[in-house]
Chains A and B, each alone.
Chain A
């Protein structure tokens, strides 16, 4: 059990892990790492380690779920039993089911669903290690996995959270800040369309604080978006190098 720290922000205005309030954690993204999936991505954001795999468009089972005019997007968010401090049962919790739904709904607006009628696209997200903000990192990775699978999309979806630690609005909350802080606002964005596809919040924020948190989260999204695009390009650059 972790002890509650006295303060989440120190006298110098720095956070527990030494970050400034508006600073992201270190992020590493790789695309196309699962040989059997049609598309895949891996993201490391702070101590978060998350794998996303996409299968499809493929025949949908059970078949009665298929739709005549569009593909059916399905998503499973799942945490490994060893991903958190106390072992998590591998059976899906109510939280997992809700997160699977909001992640799916965050990604759905980006996909041209009508291109593949009567089929299904499955997204599997596995949290290998959790450190706060897993839903956001999952969306960032899953969107890349969809792109890697060659599925036509309007834009990549990128997600990042902002929140309140002590009295400061901070970007990209880590586990302790999420649990002990005053609020958590995860946001997903399609940057080119300026479209917010996921928005949740818990905690207590005044309107001014909420406005600041949303804007900060959007700024974080745009920063991660650059890394996301680079990671996607990097996969094809490495292919090119091999050919040369």
Chain B
């Protein structure tokens, strides 16, 4: 199975990258961009295990719960 994990900074945690990107967009003349948050995407292909395994992987390594949240999406084979 293939899974896509999206890791983002938790609400309330300052995102310096997002802030810089927002500033750049303003400089480029894009108006009305109220907020930018930068995260990362990690694609996993599993030959064993299921969604529960992916949660375990997230909690153990991919995500730092002090600063980050995550979402898992199941991808088409």
Query: Is B a genuine binding partner of A?
Result: no
